[in-house]
């Protein structure tokens, strides 16, 4: 089985690339983030023509997540129990589904903006809700994985220059502690191998030639239980999908399993 996650930074703008990548990579399950469209506008027909079932959770111009599966799509859950709101609205940032016997969650963790900002507090509360969902759903006998844009770099080595992030989100102790809580709950970071550079970054800013210079961050993550990690045969970042005109600023992360 092949699982993948990709922040596409607008499914409408990126649809030709997504369709081409689905045909080339043939993931069994693809988790998408940052759809930037509501459910009615999601281009499900074009994706279904490639043999995928589609579940989406979007509500307009920002955020939005989806799960695409060609191995079944059951028990779809939109959002967490007790998921916090921001500006009096619960945003579409989490979608769960069971695909071919594997329970997956596609998540788009809030950015946080900057330490001390209300959005940063929201991010930490949202991560608490994620932890509660993991505790409620993770059955050691069932393959379980949370995939998506976590907006957290797990270690200093997961950013190209940690000195530039001293006063920024993504690397603060409370954010990283939230990842540690997931690990305490029985999930492990499925670390991808680097295909070209020493560090398998997943995100590069559009500005200042960040991608050609490999000035990136590893913030798109796969956290999985032992039933998944024991079955992993390969994991990598598909940098090719980040190249060229009209690319997302994120690259897909792919995990291959013997399931």
Q: Mark whether 131 is an active-site residue.
A: no
Q: Which of 39, 149, 189, 238 is catalytic?
A: 149
Distance of CA 62 to the CA centre of its chain: 15
Question: Alpha carbon of 120 to those of 44, 162, 194: distances in Å?
Answer: 33, 19, 30
Place of tokens 């939230």: 178
Instruction: Report pTM.
Output: 0.97
Closest CA to 6 of 126, 108, 101, 83: 108
Plot region of 105 (φ>0 → left; ψ -120 to 50 → alpha; else → beta) = beta
149 labeled part of a ligand binding site: yes
Per-residue pLDDT of the chain (259 residues; tens, 9 = 90+): 999 999 999 999 999 999 999 999 999 999 999 999 999 999 999 999 999 999 999 998 889 999 999 999 999 999 998 999 999 999 999 999 999 999 999 999 999 999 999 999 999 999 999 999 999 998 989 999 999 999 999 999 999 999 998 889 999 999 999 999 999 999 999 999 877 778 899 999 999 999 999 999 999 999 999 999 999 999 999 999 999 999 999 999 999 999 8
Q: In what order do the strands lie in the sheet with 2-7?
A: 53-57, 65-69, 29-33, 2-7, 253-257, 232-237
134 close to 104: Cβ distance less than 8 angstroms? no
Range of the domain at 36: 2-257
34 labeled part of a ligand binding site: yes
Question: Any idea what the CATH number is for the domain that residue 29 is in?
Answer: 3.60.10.10
Q: Mark whether 250 is an active-site residue.
A: yes
Overall domain count for the chain? 1
Q: Mark whether 167 is an active-site residue.
A: no
How many CB atoms within 10 Å of residue 163?
7
Q: Which of 57, 131, 170, 250 is catalytic?
A: 250
Closest CA to 70 of 29, 17, 19: 29
Q: Which of 52, 108, 203, 223 is catalytic?
A: 108
CA distance 52 to 211: 31
């Amino acid at each position: 089985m092949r699982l993948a996650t990709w922040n596409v930074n607008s499914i409408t703008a990126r649809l030709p690339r997504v369709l081409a990548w689905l045909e080339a990579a043939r993931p069994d399950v693809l988790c998408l983030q940052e759809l930037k469209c509501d459910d009615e506008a999601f281009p499900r027909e074009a994706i279904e023509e490639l043999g995928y079932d589609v579940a989406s959770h979007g509500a307009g111009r920002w955020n939005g997540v989806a799960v695409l599966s060609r191995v079944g799509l059951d028990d779809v859950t939109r959002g967490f129990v007790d998921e916090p709101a921001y500006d009096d609205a619960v945003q579409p940032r989490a979608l769960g589904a069971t695909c071919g016997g594997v329970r997956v969650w596609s998540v788009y963790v809030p950015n946080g903006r900057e330490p001390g900002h209300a959005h940063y507090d929201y991010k930490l509360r949202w991560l608490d809700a994620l932890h509660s969902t993991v505790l409620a759903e993770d059955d050691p006998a069932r393959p379980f994985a949370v995939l998506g844009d976590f907006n957290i770099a797990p270690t200093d080595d997961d950013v190209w220059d940690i000195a530039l992030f001293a006063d920024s989100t993504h690397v603060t102790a409370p954010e990283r502690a939230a990842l540690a809580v997931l690990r305490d709950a029985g999930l492990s970071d499925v670390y991808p191998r680097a295909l070209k550079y020493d560090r398998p970054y997943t995100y590069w800013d559009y500005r200042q030639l960040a991608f050609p210079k490999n000035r990136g961050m590893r913030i798109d993550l796969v956290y999985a239980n032992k039933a998944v990690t024991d079955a992993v045969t390969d994991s990598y970042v598909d940098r090719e999908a980040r190249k060229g005109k009209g690319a997302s600023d994120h690259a897909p992360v792919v995990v291959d399993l013997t399931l």
